[in-house]
């Protein structure tokens, strides 16, 4: 075997490693993609527009909020601002993941940031933490199936939305919190995990009650991050002298 | 072009700015202070927690049962096992409790 075929085989298996990890994300996001498509058409979007929104924005919660406001005939700039507000947490993701993918060529980085969703960030961070490299091919294997299924299922929901059965009995409204709880628990071995989770939980609940949604996400997140910044760095396991 | 299209396009640009913005700010600095690095390491737990915590305010017995099972399964299983177990408990419980 030549060196070239070895590296090619490695690249292929990197891709499929990513695809394997994407499967839970595909399963968990499927109901929301279909639901989004159905609600979009219900609120006056065409099938093409629902499809385009999923393909271009690719952020479930912000799409739901946008479509809800659109249905209530809210001013366009306010809809865009709300989408921005819901997605603001990604600023923290991109600051965090930048350290892992800075060695990629510029175009690959540009594409990488486009598909930087909650699970994409969480799973890539977990890989970096375990000491393995976050390569573009692996990252694409993780993100591409999620993106393709998200966009197609949105279109299907837009076309066949009227046929969706009782969403409450199917638990669709609560599937995402379960999934996100799973992602949070995946990081429980990190230094400061429990205090950060506690700070973010308390702050986000208080902000949810006072300031309101979607700002509780950014406020709660900043509370957790600030706690880690304020505590002496040795608690976080960084900055150790060799 | 319709208003809807422009809303989608502007929403897409705004979203991309959030997905690349944090990196653009951080990459302007040559070295990352240990405290900043500690903050960045806290990002997954800090952000993802805020997507779960407020849901506890209106969680009923079915929802609590699902979350507790999710935590229990997380002690041994992976993400897929956690999610499927939690979802199964939720759907099952809702058939009886509503």
Q: Is B19 on the interface with A (CB under 8 A)?
A: yes
Considering the domain architecture, whether residues A149 and A206 belong to the same structural domain is answered as: no
pLDDT at A239: 54
Residue A242 has a pLDDT of: 37
To the nearest 10°, report the CA torsion of A130, A133, A138, A139. 80
Q: What is the DSSP string of A85-128?
A: HHHTTHHHHHHHHHHHHTTS-HHHHHHHHHT--HHHHHHHHHHH
**pLDDT over 70 for what percent of chain A?**
93
Tell me: the pLDDT tens digits for A140-162?
A: 999 999 999 999 999 999 999 87
How many domains does one find in chain A? Answer: 2
B1 touches chain A (CB under 8 A): no
Chain B residues with beta carbon closer than 8 angstroms to that of A199: 46
Kind and range of the H or E element at B20? helix B3-26
Structural domains in chain B (count): 2
Whole-number Å distance between alpha carbons of A199 and B69: 23
Co-location of A211 and A155 in the same domain: no
Q: DSSP of B33-88, one letter per residue? A: -HHHHHHHHTHHHHHHHHTTGGGGGG--HHHHHHHHHHHHHHTTS-HHHHHHHHHH
A13 touches chain B (CB under 8 A): no
- Which range (A65-79, A118-132, B41-55, B56-70) has the least confidence? A65-79
Q: Which domain holds residue A215?
A: 190-236
Question: Could A113 and B67 be called an inter-chain contact, meaning their C-beta atoms sit closer than 8 Å?
Answer: no
Q: Mark whether A214 and A157 lie in a shared domain.
A: no
Residue whose entry in the numeric block shows the structure tokens 């929104």: A53
- pLDDT class of A209 with cuts at 50, 70, 90: very high
Same domain, A162 and A55: yes
- ipTM of this predicted structure: 0.90
pLDDT computed for residue A1 by the predictor: 43
Q: Do B72 and B92 belong together in one domain?
A: yes
Task: Assess whether A151 and A116 both reside in one domain.
Answer: yes
Cβ A24–B94 below 8 Å, yes or no?
A: no
Checking if the pLDDT of A42 tops 50, the result is yes
A161 and A225 co-located in one domain: no
């Amino acid at each position: 075997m030549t060196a070239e075929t070895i590296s090619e085989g490695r690249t292929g298996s990197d891709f499929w490693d990513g695809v394997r990890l994407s499967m839970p994300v595909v399963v968990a996001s499927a109901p929301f993609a279909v639901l989004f498509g159905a609600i979009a058409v219900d609120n006056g979007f065409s099938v093409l527009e629902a499809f385009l929104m999923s393909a271009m924005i690719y952020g479930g919660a912000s799409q739901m909020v946008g479509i809800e406001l659109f249905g209530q005939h809210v001013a366009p700039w306010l809809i865009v601002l709300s989408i921005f507000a819901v997605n603001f947490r990604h600023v923290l993701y991109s600051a965090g993941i930048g350290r892992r993918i800075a060695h990629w060529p510029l175009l690959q980085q540009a594409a990488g940031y486009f598909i930087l969703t909650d699970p994409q960030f969480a799973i890539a961070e977990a890989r970096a933490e375990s000491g393995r490299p976050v390569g573009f091919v692996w990252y694409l294997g993780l993100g591409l199936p999620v993106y393709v299924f998200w966009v197609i299922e949105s279109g299907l929901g837009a076309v066949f939305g009227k046929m969706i059965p009782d969403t409450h009995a199917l638990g669709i409204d609560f599937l995402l919190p379960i999934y996100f709880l799973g992602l949070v628990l995946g990081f429980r071995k990190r230094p400061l995990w429990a205090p950060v989770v506690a700070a973010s939980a308390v702050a986000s609940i208080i902000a949810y009650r006072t300031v309101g949604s979607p700002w509780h996400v950014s406020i709660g997140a900043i509370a957790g991050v600030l706690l880690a910044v304020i505590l002496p760095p040795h608690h976080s396991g960084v900055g150790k002298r060799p | 072009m319709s208003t809807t299209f422009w809303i989608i396009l502007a929403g897409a640009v705004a979203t991309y700015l959030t997905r690349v913005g944090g990196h653009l700010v951080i990459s302007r600095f040559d070295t990352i202070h240990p405290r900043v690095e500690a903050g960045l390491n806290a990002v997954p737990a800090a952000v993802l927690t805020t997507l779960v915590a407020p849901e506890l305010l209106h969680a009923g017995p079915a929802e609590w049962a699902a979350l507790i099972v999710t935590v229990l399964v997380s002690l041994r299983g992976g993400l897929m096992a956690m999610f499927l177990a939690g979802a199964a408990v939720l759907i099952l419980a809702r058939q009886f409790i509503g």
